[in-house]
Amino acid sequence: MVQCNVGIAKNKLLAKMASEVAPKGGVLEITETNLDTILSTTPFRDVCGVGYRLEKKLTALGVQTPYQINLLDDTTLLDHFGPFWSQELRKIGKGEETHFLSHPPTTTHMQSVGRSFTVFRLCDNEEEIKHTIRNLLEEAAAKMRKMNLAGRSIGISLRGRDDRWSRYIKLGHYVRHTNEIFDLLYYQSYKKWKRPFPILKCSVYIGDLRPYEDIPLCWLPQWKKQDTIYTTMDAINHRFGLFTLKPASLLSKNIIKPEVTGFLGDKTYYGL
């Protein structure tokens, strides 16, 4: 049986927050009566629009929950977060709709695609971690290619019980082949880091997406060969299901099933 959490509130910010903190498989409504309580107890990881970097800056100021933003004066917010985010954080502290949620993007294509997965137990096995990263990248990259896009920035994040490591790479060229992305994130990033803690959650990200026809193409024979291979694989997987064809490294592994990701899911990918 598939379960979901449902959040009900007067705006998107609070509805998303409610769905994150609602009991598993339950419904939570945020009203004027319980608004301050929710804002005072919800961690920033459950607040739409507040990423890791903002959360880190807020923590340095002693701010752990949205409601505590109200304890900071306007000058402090402006000095630490600038003219735009100081106003956005003030709205979040009051439970008001932010700019990005009240002004939907006008671009006709997705700006990024990602996938995350939480394991059932703390994982300290390197082979399992490698398999999970590859599995998630296969799904994210396949979605990107199906939407006829290519990305210029990639990232990976690994979380333990209390620790976190992440790496973000801004490339000088666009990528769309899973092998290349995996090499950059796993072999050239993760393997150079001495992991000090077991993993509970893994996330991968491909951003700065642009339509394939708008980017300069590589004319090297090996790149063109890879593009032909992935085009064929994608056509088969689109017809018979993702992971019908998969790399040899995933053949004997349990496949993490694809799922909708993001605040409202991959709307363009699913044709919504």
Q: Which residue, of 69, 102, 135, is where some domain finishes?
A: 102
> pLDDT at position 119, please?
86
Look up the pTM and report it: 0.60
Q: How confident is the model at residue 43 (pLDDT cuts 50, 70, 90)?
A: very high
Q: Out of 27-31, 67-71, 101-105, 180-184, pick the least confident.
A: 101-105
Mean pLDDT along residues 260-271: 52
**267 lies in some domain:** no
Mean pLDDT over 75-95 rounds to: 93
Show Cβ contacts of residue 115 under 8 Å, excluding neighbours closer than 6 positions.
136, 137, 139, 140, 203, 204, 261
> Which structural domain, as residue segments, surrounds residue 20?
6-102
How much is the mean pLDDT over the chain?
A: 88
**What token pair was written down for 247?**
């790399």
Residue 272's pLDDT is 45
| 245 belongs to a structural domain | yes
Residues 67 and 93 in one domain: yes
Residues 92 and 18 in one domain: yes
Q: What is the pLDDT of residue 64?
A: 94
Q: What is the CATH number of the domain that holds 30?
A: 1.10.150.20
For residue 202, is it within any domain?
A: yes
Specify if 272 maps to a domain.
no
Structural domain count, the chain: 2
Q: Which residues contact 65 (CB under 8 A, 6 or more apart)?
A: 39, 40, 41, 42, 43, 44
pLDDT in tens, 241-256: 888 998 888 888 888 8
Query: What gap in Å lies between CA 231 and CA 189, rounded to an integer?
Result: 27
Average pLDDT over residues 178-198: 94
Q: Which residue has the higher pLDDT, 260 or 201?
A: 201
Q: Within a domain: residue 266?
A: no
The pLDDT tens digits for 194-235 are 899 999 999 999 999 999 888 887 888 888 899 999 999 999
Q: Evaluate whether 143 touches 206 at the Cβ level (below 8 Å).
A: no
